[in-house]
Structure 1
Amino acid sequence: MKLASIAAALAVAFAAPAYAAAPLAGTNAPGFFRIMLGDFEVTAISDGTVDLPMDKLLHQPAATTGKELARSWLNVPLETSVTGYLVNTGGKLVLIDTGAGNLFGPTLGKLLANLKASGYQPEQVDEIYITHLHPDHVGGLAANGKATFPNAVVRAEQHDTDFWLSQANLDQAPADSKGFFQGAMASVAPYASAQRLQPFNAGVELTPGIRANAGYGHTPGHTTYLVESKGKKLLLIGDLIHVGAVQFDHPEVTIGFDSDSKTAAAARLKTFQAVAKDGTLVGASHLAFPGLGHLRSAGKAFDWVPVNYTQLR
């Protein structure tokens, strides 16, 4: 080929449109992740993430928090997942926690859309179990005063409903805490008015294969849920942990959201020791989505082993 021909060919090649220069897409895939637990289907559903100033929220020196986050290539504020879990037992469709709805800012409130993307509709949810009545766990229950899950019964631990749904407690609360009470009240109101809010006392099986256990401390009635099918176990621990990069090494470190820090720390340590011993799978609301994994004892600390990615077939 003559030199002139080569030059002409190169000119044409470099003049061709650069298709890789498309605009940035800016989004991830819909946020759901599904596993089988015995005969039960469990779907982790993302409500989104929220940036939290963990250097201010954790009860330890801010510089210590910054160093411990940096060891895991994390920053302050920490982008923190909010996750609910949908359990299809074959007999019932049970949603555990509902995300923040519109109570916690624009980066959350995606649980309903992701539930639909996962193949379910809100009308199909039979029961909703709440770990505790903080806004990022109950806000998705209602929108514009109407129940988001029109056929569901809502179950929450009696100590939590007594505390967060109390007008007297709202009246006495500091100004910066009143929103927690108001958010809980507004979220459960459509269900309560329809006689579909049913408090319970911890230590009871709510439906075959799902048992509610006390995990008090983070709130007065904070509850964990043990899901079990054919000998396979999953413990959904709600807010027993917020920051894996800190609290797995130092389970004694508490957070400003705790109602009773000492009791919350004791509940976390007791639960971590139990699941590390028996190998129960764990689901945590605020660990990086999907928040599923196992714990391994490491002296006084714990190692977190995330679940392996699985493609159901």
Structure 2
Amino acid sequence: MPSRRSILKGAVSGLIAAPFIAPSIAFAKAPYAAVQAPGFYRLKIGSAEVTALSDGTVALPLAKLYTNTSEQHAQSALEEAFLPEIVPTSVNAFLVNTGERLVLIDAGTGAYLGPSLGKLLANIEASGYKTDDIDDVILTHIHTDHSGGLMRNGKRTFTNATLRVSEREAKFWLSAENAKAAVGIVKQHFGEADQCVTPYVKAGKFETFADNAAPVPGLGSILYAGHTPGHSAITLESEGQKIVFWGDITHGDILQFDEPGIAIEFDIDQKAAIAARDIAFRQAVEGKYLVAGAHIAFPGIGHVRKDSTNYDWLPVNYA
């Protein structure tokens, strides 16, 4: 029986004897793919299905935007968490299927804030749903990164959905008097709110909900005013399990957990926003329920616990 050595020796001698033929195809190195997988993550809360949806990320100089601290301190804390000076900051939305209705919580940025965002609709479809399937859209608040996706090419994106917003929030942002008095970026936000929300009002597809009231059957709300006047978290409870969709209780998942007294320039009432964050953190720790943040690294779902410095963010375990 021929040995492995003799077989290899014979193969090599055969190659040497054979004439050399140059390959006809030149193989280049593979190009960079440069894209992520579709941005959705799914889990069950009791009998309800929750799908986290990425609208993309926006590069923000967070250390410059935080207030009640120094830029140097904020940057040092971010660096210790291995974050760059310009932080890719997630913009998340969440889809809830209760079995009776399909509800979108927040609507992304649409075309307003650049090409790194505006991915929500593609990710809704990648997750197995279509915009026409959605029965309700609930906004935690009307800032453009939560309401910009309500419109597409001058038409309502969610043609079959009723838009539901806190009564306080609607009263503030849809007021012509408030819009006239606003200045700077806030004035721009008033204009964008009108462009995105008013078409639903005119179409008769707009409803408001009272403080801490249920926006739709099966979901509740918690008024956490401060970031905006009607900023509200949305709650889901099913079969003994609970998740609270926080909206903008935090921006990022590092600094404001260790130092809840740090606000951000986007807060309309920074003192009230800090107070709301303190309550939201304490309630999340005491209740031991899941929370979902609009600007926590995607999928933005996890728990809050106390630690030696203050609070700690624990991302949901992948399953």
**Out of 60, 63, 66, which is 1:58 matched to?**
66
Cα pair 2:165 2:208 within 8 Å, conserved: yes
Residue aligning to 2:52: 44
Q: Measure, in 2, the Cα distance between the counterparts of 1:61 and 1:193.
A: 45
Residue aligning to 2:40: 32
Deviations 1:125-166 (A, max 9, x none): 001110000000000001132110001001111111111111
Cα pair 2:107 2:147 within 8 Å, conserved: yes
Between the aligned residues of both structures, percent identity stands at: 43
Cα pair 1:276 1:295 within 8 Å, conserved: yes
Say whether residues 1:129 and 2:138 are aligned partners.
yes
SS of match in other structure, 2:124: helix
Cα pair 2:252 2:297 within 8 Å, conserved: no
AA at the equivalent of 1:95? L
SS of match in other structure, 1:228: strand
Q: Measure, in 1, the Cα distance between the counterparts of 2:310 and 2:16.
A: 66
Say whether residues 1:237 and 2:246 are aligned partners.
yes
Residue aligning to 1:203: 212
Offset, 1:103: 1.4
Offset, 1:23: 0.2
Cα pair 1:132 1:157 within 8 Å, conserved: yes
Structure 1 window deviating more from structure 2 (131-140 vs 162-171): it is: 162-171
Cα pair 2:244 2:291 within 8 Å, conserved: yes
Structure 1 window deviating more from structure 2 (171-180 vs 121-130): it is: 171-180
Residue aligning to 1:249: 258
Q: 1:251 to 1:175 in 2, by over 3 A?
A: closer
Say whether residues 1:167 and 2:163 are aligned partners.
no
Q: 1:25 to 1:174 in 2, by over 3 A?
A: same
- Whichever of the two has the greater Rg, that structure is 2
Q: Measure, in 2, the Cα distance between the counterparts of 1:19 and 1:179.
A: 52
Cα pair 1:47 1:108 within 8 Å, conserved: yes
Cα pair 2:208 2:215 within 8 Å, conserved: no
Residue aligning to 2:197: 188
Aligned length: 308
Cα pair 1:34 1:43 within 8 Å, conserved: yes
Say whether residues 1:22 and 2:30 are aligned partners.
yes
Q: Measure, in 2, the Cα distance between the counterparts of 1:219 and 1:183.
A: 15
Deviations 1:68-87 (A, max 9, x none): 11111101211000000000
SS of match in other structure, 2:128: coil
Residue aligning to 1:77: 86
- Alignment RMSD, CA only? 2.2
Where does the alignment leave 5 or more consecutive residues of structure 1 unmatched? none
Q: 1:4 to 1:96 in 2, by over 3 A?
A: closer
Give the TM-score normalised by the residue count of structure 2. Answer: 0.91
Offset, 1:247: 0.7
Offset, 1:189: 2.0
Q: 1:213 to 1:16 in 2, by over 3 A?
A: farther
